[in-house]
Each structure stands twice: as structure tokens, then as C-alpha cells.
Structure 1
């Protein structure tokens, strides 16, 4: 089966450092996304910078997902794989690019293979909308954080 894909984009007034800081701190995710709660598996600190291999546990409503960080390029890229849910495989990538007009362009994309046959188009539709909310929330949160702290 060929994997399905999605891609969404957003823009933040904050620089890539501020966007990356929010993205890599699991504790902030419930503040800027539809996710209700976040934790690090094995009791890791959700406030600190994460590293490749860390597994995050997110709860949205009654749905719990486990995601492992598989690649980090400081201030540029965050890549994770979902270890649970309705997918045989799922890999998400968040790219941060300094924007020519200032701030950061955020591209959140993913590829996945659903467990249930014929559900791929539904999941692409759903994930495109959900991840747009994620990207927009991240962009706004980083911009607001920049405003509160006086960062450039």
C-alpha cells in the first residue's frame, strides 16, 4: 500500500529559536494545540528540551497517542513517529524556515499508512485539518511568547 501524505503551513512572527523551543517542550503543547495533556514516557521532564529517542504521550479527549522523536535539527526540524493509534506507520515532520519578511515559516507534513483499508482518504482529510490547527497554534503561541518576553 502506498503511504498517504498531508502538508500544512503557517507563519509565526517569532524567530525559529522561539518556535523550536515551544515545539520541543511537550509541556507547552496543551497551551497551543487541541491536545489536552502531554507527558514524557519513563518520567522524563516535559519542561526540558527533548532528545532523539524520547517518547511523548499525548491525550486528546479519550484518545492517547505515543510518539517517539526520531530526528532533531536545532531551530530547523522536528521529526516524530506515532507508535499507536489507527496507523501501521506514521511519520510527521515539522520544518522551520526563517521567513524573508521576518519570523518563521512552519511546514507540518506527514506520511502514514492506516491499519484499516480504505480509510486513508478520511485520515488525510482529518489530519490535514487537525495539523493545520497545530501549526497555527504553534505559530501564534511562539509569537505571543516572543511578545511577552520581549524577544526578537
Structure 2
């Protein structure tokens, strides 16, 4: 049975700035609970990633491998979690410029855990963890130097 979550946050930064931060794995430990980030195969985490790149994130003793599956410039960042406690996991970060300025960030996912009956726990945990991710992204994007963004 698939489960979902969705969290939102608002950044004073423009969508281009938020998207630029999302594309650079090296920034993630600066604004999220993630301890370290690298690109599988030795890619440069300071450069923008592309569809097909696999990022490896470490938080404490946990390791997550995420494959970038969709990029829509300044609007959508899609990824799939490879392995871990999930049979399937498809996450999306949607960016929407607001009329008053800045960007609304919606971070959501649909997932199916491997362990039966663990879905409610994972929805509870991921909702809280990803709210921290969205809030950190929103704040960081407003203050970070973003190459190529005015």
C-alpha cells in the first residue's frame, strides 16, 4: 500500500536561486540534517547535477542513495530513493514563484515501505524530517551565493 506526505515552506529567494541550491549536492549538509553528500562514481558535488546522477547522502549511520529522475528548470526536482527501507520512493520538490515575491516550496513523496505495517511510522518520520529539509532550503537559498543567478 503506498503512502504519501507533503510539506511546505516559503523562501524570500527567487525560484532560480532555490533550484540552483537543489542541484548542488555539496550544499545539502549546509541547510539540512544531512551530514555528508557525494555523487556516486566520483562526480563533483559542487557542480549542478543532472537527470541520471545518483547522490549518496549520509545522516548518522544511515546512508541514502537517490537517483535524480526529473528536472524542470526552476520548477521541479524529482528523485527516487534506491534501496533503504522502501520498496519504492518517489520524491518531488515543487517550486512556485509567489505574487508577493519569493518561492513556495512543496516537498512531497509517494512511498511503499518494505516492512509491512511500517507505513504510518515512515509517514510520521518523513513528514517531520522533510519539513526540516524544506525549511532549511528556504532559508539557505535566500542567503547563499548562487552562481549565475542575479
Would you call these one fold, judging by a TM-score over 0.5? yes
Q: Which residue pairs with 1:91 in the alignment? A: 90
Q: Which residue pairs with 2:121 in the alignment? A: 122
In the alignment, the residues of structure 2 paired with residue 110 and residue 48 of structure 1 have an alpha-carbon distance, to the nearest angstrom, of 25
- SS across alignment from 2:55: strand
Report how far residue 100 of structure 1 moved. 1.3
Q: CA offsets, 1:20-62, max 9 Å, x none? A: 0111100000000000000000001101111100000000001
Q: Which has the higher helix share?
A: 1
Computed over aligned residues only, the root mean square deviation of the Cα atoms, in angstroms, reads 1.4
In the alignment, the residues of structure 2 paired with residue 47 and residue 145 of structure 1 have an alpha-carbon distance, to the nearest angstrom, of 13
Q: Which runs of 4+ in 1 moved over 6 A?
A: none
Alignment TM-score, normalising by the size of structure 2: 0.96
Q: Which residue pairs with 2:142 in the alignment? A: 143
In the alignment, the residues of structure 2 paired with residue 8 and residue 101 of structure 1 have an alpha-carbon distance, to the nearest angstrom, of 21
Unaligned segments of structure 2, at least 5 residues: none
Aligned residues: 149
Unaligned segments of structure 1, at least 5 residues: none
- SS across alignment from 2:100: coil
